[in-house]
Structure 1
Amino acid sequence: MTSIRKELIVATLNKIVSLTDYKIYNDINKRYEFQKKTILDDKSLTKVERMEAINSLTIYYDYQKVLYNKGTKRLCEECQQICFATLYCEHCVRTYLKNNFSNWTSGNYYIDDLIQKCQLESLRPDQIIEWIPYDNLQNIEYISSKVYSADWIDGRYYIWDPELEQLKRFGMHKVILKRLINVNNANENWFEEAKSNLTISNKYSGIVRFYGLTQDPSNNKDYMLVIAL
């Protein structure tokens, strides 16, 4: 099997952005088609690498369309709703998450409400806020004040499976845990910090990516932010 040169794919994606004239390609669809053609014409990539690059481009294209509510639409064959995304249907993803509400709880009304609202506004399958049970974390190691590393056993959601009509998980991967000061009142600072970080991360792909919240049962029942490593 031919290996994929990921660093070359990243370089190609960066290059096509710099080559894009935003005055000529002045909407999302035009930019996508130009960038896609540029990748297909790039002979420095193998066929497999070109397909991988186009897939990455399409993931971002879908995200932009759903985020800004503009671009080419299509009819989802599963739910029969008009959607923006190409590789998934944003309505199907949100419905799947909503139908799963009864299968989890943090035990805190305010946290459940926050996470549910984030999930109902999810933009892409690999950027979903969750309640993460503490027993789904292992090999927890202290790094510094209030900060730990851990292995998330199931891992984050990363893709929508149209055949099974469900989200698929990435599998075990490393995460960072940040301990929040536990209080009984959800209007206090720890909750506002969690709300701000999760709400922003749910919408924008920033430098710091938040996966959700968990609760340490052994240390004052502190809540902890689960963050990408």
Structure 2
Amino acid sequence: MPHGHSHDHGRGCSHEATDVDNALEMGIEYSLYTKIDIENTECLNEETDGSGKTVFKPYEKRLDSSKFVQSDGDEELLFNVPFTGNIKLKGIIIRGSNDNTHPNRLKLFKNRPKMTFDDARGKADQEFELTRDCRGEVEYSPKVVTFSSVHHLSLYFPSNYGDDVTRIYYIGFRGEFTEAHFHGVTICNYESRANISDHKEKTFDGVGRAIQ
């Protein structure tokens, strides 16, 4: 279910400091964009090459409308997003325009690199119905059990509110990050046959009796 994040809380400008604090807190929580392997991130069906990567940015820049991704020819967009380690995904924000170019559905897939549109039309790990969010304040909550160890995330937007193209300004991720650990090959030498002289004089059989 989506959750709204409103920073004025209906209390007016006298609580501006509190609003700034809340924005800073959200900015910290939505910092997983720094853990994206942006060089290997891809967006299928983007009108302008490389524009899909620009929607992953700091929370405080989510209202910047100068950079966005727009679909080419129809309303579908598919993001393949690798991370530099493992994440536990707890929240997603999708900001679009307050018009019919805003996507109205999202399908999430975990750990399936290089997905195609044919792949994305299959069963997702989770789906969301999206509301129009032109301020980046609506959070969608993935199932933590499902998305607790994610090194690659695919986001498929199959449709919008009725326009020929889909436009997205910001995609934010909230959660926890764990560094990837790469273990080298350990080379061990094992004896092919035990050499009695290399061991203690006494050994024990299966029931603990000393063998002379």
Q: Which has the larger radius of gyration?
A: 2
Whose relative contact order is higher, 1 or 2, with alpha carbons under 8 Å and at least 6 apart?
2
Give the TM-score taking structure 1 as reference length: 0.27
Higher helix proportion (structure 1 or 2): 1
Give the TM-score taking structure 2 as reference length: 0.28
